[in-house]
Amino acid sequence: MHFVLIYLAVAVPFIAVDMVWLGLMVERLYRPAIGEILRVEPNIWPAVVFYLLYPLGLIGFAVVPAHREASPARALLLGLLFGCFTYATYDLTNHATLRNWTTVLTVADICWGSFLAAGSAYCGYLVASRVLGAG
């Protein structure tokens, strides 16, 4: 049961805040840059798989190590790094291979993913500290 609570503490803010970001930024940032290759309606199943898996990565690479060290700063730093590396993989690959992918889009999305992951890892750390006690 503890794992479910920690998972939800990471997944819920990650998904909720990302939905707000996407709702605000699709028309302002993504569609102007990538235009016609952006779907009108997203293919839901790959998105579901992403939103189910990504929190597991944050737990394994940020929340658990930070909890072992009893360090909220470590949760933020490791979450930030995890977000930076994972979003950079996506964005830099797109920047290298997609004609319309821009530097502005790359930088904005990497920054977004880094801060989103950091905040979500921190939320998971807070719940882990509460339900599991000190690391």
Q: What is the pLDDT of residues 82-106, one digit of tens each?
A: 999 999 999 999 999 999 999 999 9
Does pLDDT of 135 surpass 80? no
Does pLDDT of 124 surpass 90? yes
Please give the helix or strand (H or E) that residue 97 lies within, else none: helix 72-97
Domain residue spans of the chain: 2-132
Percent of the chain, pLDDT > 70? 99
Q: What's the whole-model pTM score?
A: 0.95
Q: What is the pLDDT of residues 43-68, one digit of tens each?
A: 999 999 999 999 999 999 999 999 99
